[in-house]
Structure 1
Amino acid sequence: MTGHPIDTPVEITRQPRGIHCLLRRFKRSQDGATIVEFAMVATPFLMLLAAILETALMFWTSQALEEGVGQASRALLTGQSQTLYKGTASDNATAFKNAICANAPGLIDCTKVTIDVRSYASFAAASTGTTASSPVSGGALNTTGYGYTQPLPGQIVVVRAVLEYKLIFTQWSSALANIGAGKRGIVASATFRAEPFAVPAS
């Protein structure tokens, strides 16, 4: 007997919905994985690179300041300062600072430089005096009492130049900053015995 075919029931598969569907899709998807991995690696790498660049700049600035102090101090060593710096203590300090900056070109901001020239009878006294007047102490810059004193023949002369250096790449770092947030005190110094030069008549 021929009749109409009996329809076979078709099983309908329903796609999971809701949170389960989202979790499965998230598990299978690889989109954006490379970007996330790069971000995880790039952040510490860039921070390390910034610290390296900052350290190199500070080292270069320190060397330039040391060179400026060394060149300018020759006038104190030989007695030429007796004729070069004949003004008031304030004028002499400014003139000597300008001499340092003229021999230390580059990233040094001369308006942020403070100088100190002191004379002592012995190296022991110089060591005690400079330790007691350290420019960087307690996380702050202290140049109180700094100035210029004209050295005499045979005296022990201590020259210090202090630069308030502003961090460029690592202002967030507390390891490099020693005089407040985003700043570091860079100190260049020279200690020597002045030659037995003749003091010109005043």
Structure 2
Amino acid sequence: MAQVKIPSVKRIRNRSGAFMKDCRGATAVEFALVATPFLALLVAILQTFLVFFAQELLEGVVQQSSRQILTGQTQSQQATQAAFHQTVCNQVSVLFTCSKIFVDVRVATSWSTADTSALVPTYDSQGNVNNMQFNPGNAGDIVVVRVMYLWPVLLGPLGFNLSNQPNNMRLILATAAFQNEPSS
């Protein structure tokens, strides 16, 4: 049987004392401890900024595009949903993918029945959205315009997650509700 040599207590103290006094790697260790939460916070801030920026951009575009319905231009040109979709898309194509923009325009019978909530897209067997409508109404009608976009979000570090839809997507919604101008 081999004999195991046990170091003396004094020798262990000398080795541990020398290890504790050695500061050559302290900066790297401290940086590693601070860098991880710092980078996680930086990613979370950047992702939150992008979502809020996209939301504000979409809000502005919906207000501008809805003005065409409000003033009767869309109705007089007999524009289709695809044409109105393209109008919205032309204004946000730098930041958004047009295929992920959903436009829903409906007439409400009264202000109390105007639905401004998020409309979750449903798909048919070919992958096309099938629950969006386009009815710009007539003069004097109450119209609700909803434009939705599925924004991809990254799973953030340390559990930070902005997604509110499946597949790490966030549904961004911009709504305009107005009464069409009377015809002249």
TM-score normalised by length of structure 1: 0.73
Deviation at 1:147, TM superposition (A): 2.1
Structure 2 CA distance for partners of 1:173 and 1:165, relative to 1, 3 Å: farther
Distance 1:167 1:130, change over 3 A: same
Correspondence for 2:39 among 36, 46, 58: 46
Asked if 2 retains the 8 angstrom alpha-carbon contact of 1:67 and 1:103, the reply is no
SS of the equivalent of 1:70 reads helix
Contact 2:72/2:139, CA 8 A, preserved across alignment: yes
CA contact (8 A) 2:150 2:171 kept: yes
- Residue in 2 aligned with 1:164? 150
1:70 partner letter: Q
Runs of 5+ unmatched residues, structure 2: 1-6, 123-128
CA contact (8 A) 1:117 1:159 kept: yes
How far is 1:27 from its partner?
A: 2.7
Determine if the alignment matches structure 1 residue 124 to structure 2 residue 117. no
Q: What residue in structure 2 maps to residue 146 of structure 1? A: 132
Query: In 2, distance between residues paired with 1:67 and 1:159?
Result: 13
Task: Return the TM-score normalized by structure 2.
Answer: 0.79
Separation of aligned partners in 2, 1:103 and 1:171: 33
Identity %, equivalent residues: 37
The Cα of 1:45 is off from its aligned counterpart by 1.0
- Flag the 1:117–1:172 CA change in 2: closer, same or farther, 3 A: farther
Pick closer, same or farther for the CA change 1:171–1:34 going to 2, 3 Å. Answer: closer
After TM superposition, list the pairs within 5 Å mapping 1:10-159 onto structure 2.
20=12, 23-86=16-79, 92-126=80-114, 129-131=115-117, 134-135=118-119, 145-159=131-145
Aligned residues, how many? 170
Q: What letter is aligned with 1:186?
A: I
* TM-fit CA distance, 1:61: 1.1
Can you list the C-alpha shifts for 1:85-143, whole angstroms capped at 9, x where unaligned? Answer: 34xxxxx22211110122235311111101100001211011xx344xx335xxxx657
Across the aligned residues of Structure 1 and Structure 2, the Cα RMSD in angstroms comes to: 2.7
